[in-house]
């Protein structure tokens, strides 16, 4: 971590989390006075998405499991991770995450949706059972690492609804996909598993 006010001089603090931790983003505002970091540590209990809190960006605690990878033959079994930063909507924090399915031909990366409470982002409100976006075209299926669609960033149009999703295709090129945030939320409402109050959808 490095802090700056002018992007010319930096105050460096070193690593925030352990080395085997990636796919991280900060929520755009504090939760109960604390910064909130969504991240994906590699651990012997599994590769799941966690959230941690800090009062000063230097000291982190309150670690909570946010979204577990499912088990078995699910498209998002065993290994998941955040893709772009969470999107704040009136219904909750919309998460676009990637799931990795290991096949005889290699790993297959696809995207799914989940929704979390605005004031308690560790509480999952809904999680889609099926994936919503995956490699289909030749440039997504063939490249340095085939069968990969992996978004890392987005912009939102002036209408507040059009989502421009920038993603890596087969680790060889960068592509752009567009969607409607409202349509994603509607899909999740129709196709998502609603988690019990205070619980996570899926099983660890």
Give the CA count within 13 Å in the CB-facing half-sphere of 103.
Answer: 14
What is the predicted pLDDT for the residue at 204? 35
With contact defined as beta carbons under 8 Å apart, do 185 and 115 qualify?
yes
Contacting residues for 128 by C-beta, under 8 A, at least 6 apart: 112, 113, 114, 187, 188, 191, 192, 193
CA nearest to 118, candidates 82, 162, 97, 87: 87
What is the model's pTM?
A: 0.89
Query: In order along the chain (204 residues), what is the average pLDDT of each group of 10 residues?
Result: 94 86 94 96 86 93 94 90 96 96 83 96 95 94 92 95 96 96 96 58 38
Please report the pLDDT score of residue 67 as a whole number.
Answer: 96
* Alpha helix positions (H), 30-144: 138-141
Residue 189: the pLDDT is: 93
Give the residue among 33, 45, 41, 34 at the shortest CA–CA distance from 16.
41
């Amino acid at each position: 971590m490095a802090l700056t006010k002018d992007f010319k001089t930096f105050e460096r603090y070193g690593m925030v989390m352990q080395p085997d931790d990636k796919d991280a983003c900060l929520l755009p505002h504090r939760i109960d006075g604390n910064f909130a970091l969504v991240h994906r540590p590699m651990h012997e209990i599994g590769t799941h998405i966690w959230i941690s809190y800090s009062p000063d960006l230097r000291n982190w605690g309150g670690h909570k499991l946010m979204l577990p990878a499912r088990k078995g033959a699910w498209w998002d079994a065993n290994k998941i991770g955040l893709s772009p930063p969470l999107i704040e909507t009136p219904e909750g924090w919309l998460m676009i995450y990637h799931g990795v399915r290991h096949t005889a031909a290699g790993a297959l990366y696809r995207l799914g949706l989940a929704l979390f409470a605005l004031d308690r982002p560790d509480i999952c409100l809904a999680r889609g059972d099926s994936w919503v976006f995956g490699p289909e075209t030749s440039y997504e299926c063939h490249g340095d690492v085939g069968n990969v669609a992996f978004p890392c960033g987005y912009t939102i149009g002036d209408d507040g609804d059009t989502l421009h999703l920038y993603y890596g295709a087969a680790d060889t090129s960068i592509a752009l996909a567009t969607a409607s945030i409202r349509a994603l939320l509607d899909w999740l409402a129709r196709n998502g598993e609603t988690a019990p109050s205070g619980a996570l959808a899926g099983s660890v």
